[in-house]
Structure 1
Amino acid sequence: MLLLIDAGNTRVKWALVPSGAREPGELGRWAASGMVEHAQLLQLADAWRGQDIVRVLISNVAGQAMRDALEQVLLRALGMQPVPLEWFCSAATLGGVRNNYRNPTQLGCDRFASAIGAHALFPDQALIVATCGTATTIDAIAADGVFIGGMILPGLGLMASSLAKNTAQLPQVAQDLDIGDPFADNTDAAIVSGCIAAQAGAIERALAAHAQRSGGAVQCILSGGAAALIAPHLPAPHQKVDNLVLIGLHHVAISTARHNTSC
């Protein structure tokens, strides 16, 4: 088994890939997968214990403390079994994507993995990849696989919490409010409406700019925990793809037999 791990700012997602799943059409088809909050990280030892894991590929944007914690969890799960741990990091070229960042290694490894996953799923298409999580990242990928660059803005929860108290749980607030009318008649709904309008507006702006740059149609990909809240307010055609970082890691694993992806 190949174990893929996406350690984000709020949650850790994972997937187990059968050793034989090495075809592009098998991206996202996993033997098992799951997600935990940071506080529940130790639960993963039980989920992974007893699995025939021969390789681990990890994307971590949650810092050194998370890296140390994951190493401890993996030690509990795998014991003394000699399994290589590979810490995925951004590079100049990897997985069919060429990184156009001024300093390629500065690009967040989650954004690079998402770009690789999106390009693998939608080859030969110009793409905008909007990942709506703790932060919202909006990245442009050319049809030939060049990562052009992107935008970073606060996610829905961060936007809301900067405006008023008790709004950090914006997804829960938004699910309970009807924001079909952009001009809200109460403060909670006004905050939700404004934050979603900002998110959707940034995505629309990115789509328009990329279409002008590429001279053709641009496919919009939405991912992340808040994607379902933003999607109904985005008039442009789009597709929602879950676990895009894991899909990118999967593609790297099957496209590079033993490429050194470690930082």
Structure 2
Amino acid sequence: MIVLIDMGNSRVKYCTSVQGKLTPINVVDNKEFTCRLFENQFHKSSKVIIASVGDKHLTDALFDWCKANNISYQEISSEKQKNGVVNGYQVPAQLGVDRWLGLLGAAANFANKNVLIVDSGTATTIDFLGADGQHHGGWILSGINTLVTGIIANTSYVKANSNEPVSLSFGANTSENVHNAAWAATVGSVNVGISQIQHQGINLDEVVFTGGNALKLSSLINYQNKVIPELVFHGLQSYI
């Protein structure tokens, strides 16, 4: 049994790969990612593969636990190329590993296809993967919640609820204005990305959403799209 782990800024997602098939994804807060969890969940594993943009103290604790229990440990970093996918960054290691794994996951799901990948979590990232495996770069913008909390934190009189429904309509109060604008800005970025690809005369085969806001965001995009919550884990499977 091989454990695959995607560690973000606030949450850890993990599953296992058994004979090439992924088990359901588990999600815990970073503060719950402790030796007790390792003992309960990972003790039968032969190898742990992790990609992290989170706290190094947590990955260090996992490494020490794996070493003490004779379990193979591998931490993934972004590379120049793998499995026919070519990193578009001038310095490949500077591409976030979650984005790198999203590219690998998209290539595994959509071989020889032009794919726009949208990962919507704490940040929203948008990346274009060409049919030839070339990564053509992308964008990083604040995630929906970060957009909302950012404007609240930096203005004195702007207040917003935390439970506004998803909408692109013009708001009738300040809370709706803030939330709806966050969705509109994100949808606008995705639509500009689609337009840029099309204006280059490229046939965009797939738009893929992943991340915590994937389902909500995908419903606001008119272009045909797919939601693959486990996309990063498909990328992690490339390292088994």
Could you say what secondary structure the match of 2:78 adopts? coil
Higher RCO (CA < 8 A, seq sep 6+): 1
TM alignment of 1:114-129, pairs within 5 A: 114-129=102-117
Determine the structure 2 residue equivalent to 1:152: 140
Determine the structure 1 residue equivalent to 2:171: 184
TM alignment of 1:181-220, pairs within 5 A: 182-213=169-200, 215-220=202-207
Displacement of 1:46 after TM fit? Answer: 4.2
Q: Does the C-alpha gap of structure 1 residues 47 and 146 become closer, same or farther in structure 2, counting only changes over 3 Å?
A: farther
Normalised by the size of structure 1, how large is the TM-score? 0.82
Determine the structure 2 residue equivalent to 1:225: 212
Displacement of 1:138 after TM fit? Answer: 0.3
What is the distance in 2 between the residues matched to 1:117 and 1:229?
Answer: 21
Larger deviation, residues 125-134 vs 100-109? 100-109
Determine the structure 2 residue equivalent to 1:10: 10
What is the distance in 2 between the residues matched to 1:55 and 1:168?
Answer: 47
Q: Does the C-alpha gap of structure 1 residues 49 and 131 become closer, same or farther in structure 2, counting only changes over 3 Å?
A: closer
Q: CA RMSD in A?
A: 2.2
What is the distance in 2 between the residues matched to 1:168 and 1:14?
Answer: 35
Q: 1:142·1:214 contact (CA, 8 Å) conserved in 2?
A: no
Pairs aligned (count) = 235
Determine the structure 2 residue equivalent to 1:130: 118
Residue type of the partner of 1:56?
V
Q: 1:6·1:246 contact (CA, 8 Å) conserved in 2?
A: yes
Determine the structure 1 residue equivalent to 2:163: 173
What is the distance in 2 between the residues matched to 1:120 and 1:168?
Answer: 43
Could you say what secondary structure the match of 1:62 adopts? coil
Q: 1:88·1:109 contact (CA, 8 Å) conserved in 2?
A: yes
Determine the structure 2 residue equivalent to 1:24: none
Larger deviation, residues 208-217 vs 148-157? 208-217
What is the distance in 1 between the residues matched to 2:113 and 2:160?
Answer: 35
Larger deviation, residues 80-89 vs 184-193? 80-89
Determine the structure 2 residue equivalent to 1:162: 150
Displacement of 1:149 after TM fit? Answer: 0.6
Could you say what secondary structure the match of 2:151 adopts? coil
Displacement of 1:69 after TM fit? Answer: 3.5
Residue type of the partner of 1:139?
D
Displacement of 1:164 after TM fit? Answer: 1.7
Q: Does the C-alpha gap of structure 1 residues 84 and 215 become closer, same or farther in structure 2, counting only changes over 3 Å?
A: same
Determine the structure 1 residue equivalent to 2:37: 44
Would you say 1:107 and 2:95 are equivalent positions? Answer: yes
In structure 2, stretches of 5+ residues that fail to align are none
Displacement of 1:64 after TM fit? Answer: 2.0
Would you say 1:95 and 2:88 are equivalent positions? Answer: no
Deviation readout 1:196-249 (Å, 9 max, x if unpaired): 000011011111112333521341101110122222221111111102111100
